[in-house]
């Protein structure tokens, strides 16, 4: 007859094996579905997918965070955000990752792309002394039409992942006054015209950050998936600063 201690050990082994079988996601790459294996990669992806990530480390344009010479910032008449930092170069692999997430319903990729925003967040502080400013996170809103098509706002999901990892509160500060077509298909001048007046303040959640502004300096991190010319970030920052005396810092996944 088995002793109580032996039975306990046997049950523990059975439970452990059952948990392993019931939790395959912990060992599967969220991008390609392959086995992740063991290692030090903190993202839920395999080593092959991780090595495809074109991280941005060296910044050429201090304003927009571009890794090559920037044609846009010198031409912009007014810039309402302090600076932007991006995580990755928007190459073909990253376009495919974002397409899986945004257009093919693979929402689990929020657990990959969202944590990657930590890289851009740290780039904002690289080589600079930490300020005593209060920090908040917000995000670029979707139109009602786009939200109905997609079922979620990728910028909001990524912002909430960043907030979860940093402990910084996430707040909705903007809504879209009107729907716009996809900006990636438009010329620079058309983007600037199209974005004018497209956002309005969301006053329903403004109280906590307004109180923080009265107490001292506030850094607001504005999250979006892709930074192209900066017209979306600039218009969002302009709208926010009509109601709040904050410094707006862009945090974009791709550049």
**Contact of 157 with 110, CB cutoff 8 Å:** yes
Give start and end residues of each alpha helix (H) in the chain. 4-22, 47-50, 92-102, 110-125, 144-150, 154-166, 188-195, 207-215, 231-241
Structure tokens at 32: 């390609």
- Please give the Cα distance from 152 to 220 (Å, whole number): 22
DSSP state of 229: S
pLDDT at residue number 19: 38
pLDDT at residue number 168: 97
pLDDT by residue, tens only, the chain of 255 residues? 545 555 455 444 554 444 334 444 458 999 999 998 777 788 999 999 999 999 999 999 999 999 999 988 988 889 999 999 999 999 999 999 999 999 998 999 999 999 999 999 999 998 887 788 999 999 999 999 999 999 999 999 999 999 999 999 999 999 998 877 665 555 555 555 678 889 999 999 999 999 999 999 999 999 999 999 999 999 999 999 999 999 999 999 999
Helix (H, G, I), strand (E, B) or coil at 126: coil
- Please give the Cα distance from 30 to 99 (Å, whole number): 14
pLDDT tens-digit map of 55-106: 999 999 999 999 999 988 988 889 999 999 999 999 999 999 999 999 998 9
Helix (H, G, I), strand (E, B) or coil at 243: coil
- Please give the Cα distance from 199 to 241 (Å, whole number): 12
The pTM of this model reads 0.84
């Amino acid at each position: 007859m088995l002793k109580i201690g032996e039975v306990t050990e046997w049950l523990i082994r059975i439970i452990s094996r059952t948990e392993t079988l019931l939790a395959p996601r912990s060992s599967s790459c969220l991008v390609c579905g392959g086995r992740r294996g063991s290692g030090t990669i903190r993202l839920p992806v395999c080593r092959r997918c991780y090595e495809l990530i074109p991280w941005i480390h060296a910044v050429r344009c201090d304003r927009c965070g571009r890794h090559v010479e920037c044609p846009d910032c010198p031409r912009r008449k007014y810039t309402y955000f302090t600076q932007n930092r991006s995580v990755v170069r928007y190459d073909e692999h990253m376009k495919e990752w974002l397409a899986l997430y945004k257009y093919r319903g693979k929402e689990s990729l929020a657990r990959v792309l969202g944590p990657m925003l930590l890289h851009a967040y740290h780039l904002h502080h690289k080589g600079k002394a930490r300020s005593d400013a209060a920090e908040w996170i917000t995000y670029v809103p979707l139109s009602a039409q786009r939200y109905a098509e997609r079922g979620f706002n990728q910028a909001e999901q990524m912002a909430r992942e960043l907030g979860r990892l940093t402990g910084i509160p996430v707040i909705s500060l903007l809504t879209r006054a009107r729907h716009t077509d996809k900006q990636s298909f438009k010329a620079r001048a058309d983007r600037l015209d199209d974005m004018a007046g497209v956002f309005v303040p969301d006053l329903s959640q403004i109280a906590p950050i307004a109180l923080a502004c009265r107490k001292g300096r506030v850094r607001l991190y504005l999250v979006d998936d892709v930074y192209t010319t900066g017209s979306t970030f600039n218009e969002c920052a302009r709208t926010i600063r009509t109601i709040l005396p904050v410094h707006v810092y862009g945090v974009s996944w791709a550049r």
